[in-house]
Chain A
Amino acid sequence: MAINLTRRKFLKTASIAAASVPLSKVTAHAEAGVVKTPLIPKGSFKDTKTVTGGICEMCFWRCQLVGKVRDGVLKKIEGNPKSIDNGSALCARGNAGIKLLYDPDRLKYPMKNMGKRGEPKWKRISWEEALDECGKKLKATVDKHGPEGIAMFPHGASAKYPMHYFEHVVGTPNVSEASFFQCRGVRDYAWLSTIGAAPGEHVDMANAKVIFGLGCHFGENIHVSHTKRYLKGLENGAKLVIVDPRFSASASKADIWMQIKPGTDTAMLLAMMNYLVENKKFNAEYVDEYGEGFDEFKEAISPWTLEKAAKECDVPAAQIKEIADLLAANAPNVSIHPGRFSSWYGNDFQRGRALACLAGLLGAFGVPGGFVKGIGPGGFGKVKWGHGHEAIKALHREAKVHHQSPAGTPTDLIRDCAITSKPYPIKSCVVWGQNPIQTIPNQQKTIDMLMQMDFVMCVDVMPTDITMYADILLPEASYLERYDYIKKGTQWDLSAKQQQYVSARMPLVEAEFERKDQVYICNELAKRMGNEEAIPVQTIEEMVDKILEPASLSIKKLNEEDGIHLQPGKDPYGDFLDINFFSEDLVEQGYPGAPTYEPIPDVPKGYLRLLFGRSPLHSFNRTQNNAWLHNAMPENPVWIHDKTAKLLGLKDGDRISMVNSEGVESGTTSHVKVTPGIREDCVFIAHGHGTQNAAMTVAKDAGIDDQKLVTILAVDPETGCHGMRNNFIKIVKA
């Protein structure tokens, strides 16, 4: 600093200098950011109102919202009192959505990476320049390598429209959704091959006599209407059975908690079913009427005695019998919950099949308390991209593996193909709302895949870890700032007055800075890639209206009805589904026809199995930077058994890091929670913590990232989905 000027001296000098420094001239042509306006009296507020029509996306459950908006700024989020789904209730994350909206770390403008991939040096650029660059690079990849030269990693509602564009118009099969391949895809396809439908979470827990949850963390995964069903069931006296290596929130409310050895669930289910069959405690009438391949099934599961399973699962045989008897005594009014996140151990398809078969044996379909899908409103329009190119055969179809793969292509096949260029090169990557660094196991392989790309673009709301690898980074409007697909359904308690609802995501406030919605971004890409003629709608509002129009609804009408249209519903009971106990199709594809138990690797001496799951305060990584949620749960405590802790010289609250059996270190630390509520050979942490990108200023290094430690890859043979709980760690005192 040259001199210590005071304001007065500064001004005097400026006055003298004014003649020689024509400041007003050099700024004369600039656009003003503050202008004269008609006087607004002090204390008045423009536009103070309650805005209806919001739909939450702090998780995927999509609760209905209203917003208190003052002067264009969202001040508070509440449940929409008209909702027959979540009602006026919201979870902690839903309430904290406002902190995502106004998070200073959010992406604000399109940016170009002027540095290296992984070590970005960002420069704000115009949308025009950003889209031109994306369009040019993606088109160049298609021209040189064909549509299969593009890989896409989408996630969330806003990624659906662009995902369909890349799949159907561009024509790449190399699309991997984390919600399938690292989450529920294995469940959906296991049940699909057993009952002909993906199960969702369609169990009528509110009216059940027994609720059976295998690894279900009700209360730790809060989905409001789902949790209402669960709690109503308990309130009505339902018995609760929870099978989990950990004393979870649900286990704490359970009548029976089975502390099973990880990975052995299918053995327990087979023994339970064998017991029911052998003792004629199953619903023979239902099986006769709706079962397929029961005799082959019966034969296949016959080796599984209670004792054999008890040994394999490290649980008392009497407890398996007790649960089986409880279910049989209360059948068919039992909820055999299909679970949701199912990418556990790489033997998960068979577990899903076994669960569906158990429900079938009990006849727990179409009856109060059983598997019942509410009958929601129908007659809506569809917005579809035209099919521009003949679809290229997906990698798993070519290789004739993973015949039960969810839509898209199994992640590892895409990643391996990109890294090796075999059978073909994959040279551009589109990431839309997903953070593959924290969704896909073996981070180094993901990074290797990204580094060999000619071009990487990311669309997101936050600077998540994956965005460090983008060449172009585009800021998307959040769920509170844009329209989106409709949400429809019924009242949450299926036995209550039958009603149907229709709502559409509508913005509570306008998008700030230069954030744009997915329809705008994707259409502009399509134009630049020579696919303008395939564009199905010009705006996101048009998309929503096209979906609503055949049902005689519109955005305008929904707005007039406070965001939610209600109409009379239909009795949902009486839908008795066919059960494929033994599948010839699966046999033809080279898989077992009946549910089969496949053991997983045991914990090596000196190590602990790393288990991970949900916390009620975070939706994995996507809420980590949220200041309220972070304050409530800044990091993920490491659950460790009393005895194990004593052996390792650990006490409650000690700081630790982890290293896995392949020598990969967690890098960050967390604190120990010493508890008798976990098996001695396991540790448990909530998933999604330990963000690496320092641009997430709240979340950076807060807690341990389990995904970093998941380097041993297990892949479910039927579906190609990952199993992520076959990794083993040692504790390192920090």
Chain B
Amino acid sequence: MKMNSHSDIDSQESIILADIYQFLAYTMGYPEPELIGNPFLDAMEKMLENYGMHSEQQDIDAWRQSEKDEDLSDTLQIEYTRLFINAVPKIIAPPYASFYLDGDHNLQGKTTQKTRDYYRQYGCDITNPHEPADHIQLELEFLASLCRDYELDAEEMFLKTLFRPWFKQFYNRIIEDQGHPFYRVSVQLIDYITKEEQ
């Protein structure tokens, strides 16, 4: 078994971690109906159940019960646009690191560049050069890739230097907004998986 300085996480657990990151990455992408369908939501509910997050699971379940299957992704798309793209009065939480870290009301800031450089340092890059590299979905996908490669030091360093410094602000904005349970629950899960050991 390949070992890492994170002696408490073995390579098999690292693959599981990668799967979780990958799953959570897609909660932060635009909710296309092909992806965010019943299998995806079933998996999310199962996770919540396993982690003992019963009230969150009930929230998701209640939402699913209240809407027809074909309307689920529509609801999420409106909510995603409101939270992350454009909205009146204003979007809740721009999903880009540089927005929080670089000040000056900017995308494609120094943090975006640092993030992309970090990806490249570990042999990764973004597939769509027309979107900033520091979108939360891409950062989570990158973390998945690191875990798949059992690069847990790099994962920890990325979390510490480039992810957590902005995620908490992003997280707070979504929790305070008290919007749709899907996104509240998703950022809670992301929070658990990325926060430092107490």
Contacts and interface: CB of A to CB of B under 8 A. Distances in A.
Contacts of A513: 130-131
B145 A36 contact: yes
B197 A24 contact: no
Contact of A627 (B43, B80, B105): B105
A72 B108 CA distance: 10
A461 to B, nearest CB: 12
B160 interface: no
B105 A104 contact: yes
Contacts of B43: 21-23, 26
Interface string A1-43: 1110111101101111110111111110111111111111010
Contacts of B194: 7
B116 A694 contact: no
A39 B123 contact: yes
B193 interface: yes
B188 interface: yes
B23 A123 contact: no
Interface stretch (A114-122, A212-220, A593-601): A114-122
Given A29-B34, A695-B89, A18 B16 contact: yes
Contact of B23 (A26, A38, A102): A26
A107 B188 contact: no
A124 B105 contact: no
B183 interface: no
Interface in A85-119: 99, 101-105, 107-109, 111, 114, 119
B87 A122 contact: yes
Interface in B161-192: 188, 192
Contacts of A35: 124-125, 127
Interface string A571-583: 0000000000000
Contact of B86 (A3, A33, A463): A463
Given A21-B47, A695-B91, A111 B113 contact: no
A695 B81 CA distance: 12
A26 B25 CA distance: 12
A10 B130 contact: no
Given A21-B50, A71-B113, A34 B119 contact: yes
B151 interface: no
Contact of B104 (A36, A108, A627): A627
Nearest to B159: A7
A560 interface: no
B123 A468 contact: no
Contacts of B116: 71
A510 interface: yes
A27 B130 contact: no
A317 interface: no
B74 to A, nearest CB: 8
Contacts of B197: 6-8
Interface in A38-59: 38-40, 42
Interface string B107-125: 1110011001101110111
Given A15-B16, A122-B82, A510 B130 contact: yes
A511 interface: yes
Given A8-B8, A104-B99, A99 B106 contact: yes
A3 B53 contact: yes
Interface in A345-399: none
Interface string B12-30: 1100110110110110011
Given A11-B16, A37-B124, A37-B125, A111 B81 contact: yes
A107 B81 CA distance: 11
A27 B37 CA distance: 11
Contact of B40 (A26, A111, A114): A26
A255 interface: no
A121 B104 CA distance: 27
B157 interface: no
A29 B141 CA distance: 14
Given A33-B127, A104-B105, A510-B129, A123 B88 contact: no
A319 B9 CA distance: 89
Contact of B55 (A2, A99, A102, A104): A2
Interface string A587-626: 0000000000000000000000000000000000000000
A443 interface: no
A693 interface: yes
Contact of B13 (A15, A104, A700): A15
A265 B132 CA distance: 53
A104 B53 CA distance: 34
Given A3-B52, A122-B78, A695-B89, A34 B145 contact: yes
A697 interface: yes
A16 to B, nearest CB: 7
A463 B16 CA distance: 42
B11 interface: no
A274 to B, nearest CB: 55
A698 B112 CA distance: 21
A2 B57 CA distance: 10
A454 interface: no
Interface string B68-103: 000000100110111001111111001010010000
A42 B121 contact: yes
B64 interface: no
B19 A23 contact: yes
Nearest to B51: A13
Given A2-B56, A27-B26, A37-B124, A73 B88 contact: no
B50 A124 contact: no
Contacts of B7: none
A104 B84 CA distance: 10
Contacts of A107: 86
A561 interface: no
B107 to A, nearest CB: 4
Contacts of B130: 510-514
B52 to A, nearest CB: 5
A510 B86 CA distance: 21
Given A73-B108, A122-B86, A512-B131, A27 B145 contact: no
B127 A32 contact: yes
B195 A7 contact: yes
Nearest to A2: B53
B34 to A, nearest CB: 7
A30 B116 CA distance: 21
A7 B192 contact: yes
Contact of B77 (A13, A70, A123): A123
A511 B74 CA distance: 27
A124 B192 contact: no
Contacts of B154: none
A65 to B, nearest CB: 18
B8 to A, nearest CB: 7
B3 interface: no
Interface of A: 1-3, 5-8, 10-11, 13-18, 20-27, 29-40, 42, 70-73, 99, 101-105, 107-109, 111, 114, 119-124, 463, 468, 473, 510-514, 627-628, 693-695, 697-698, 700
> Nearest 5 CB-CB pairs, A to B?
A694-B89, A627-B105, A17-B50, A34-B141, A37-B125
5 contacts: A5-B53, A14-B50, A124-B77, A627-B106, A695-B90
Given A102-B106, A513-B131, 6 more contacts: A2-B54, A26-B43, A71-B116, A104-B106, A123-B81, A512-B132
Interface of B: 8-9, 12-13, 16-17, 19-20, 22-23, 25-26, 29-30, 34-35, 39-40, 43, 46-47, 50-56, 74, 77-78, 80-82, 85-91, 94, 96, 99, 104-109, 112-113, 116-117, 119-121, 123-132, 135, 137-138, 141-142, 145, 188, 192-198
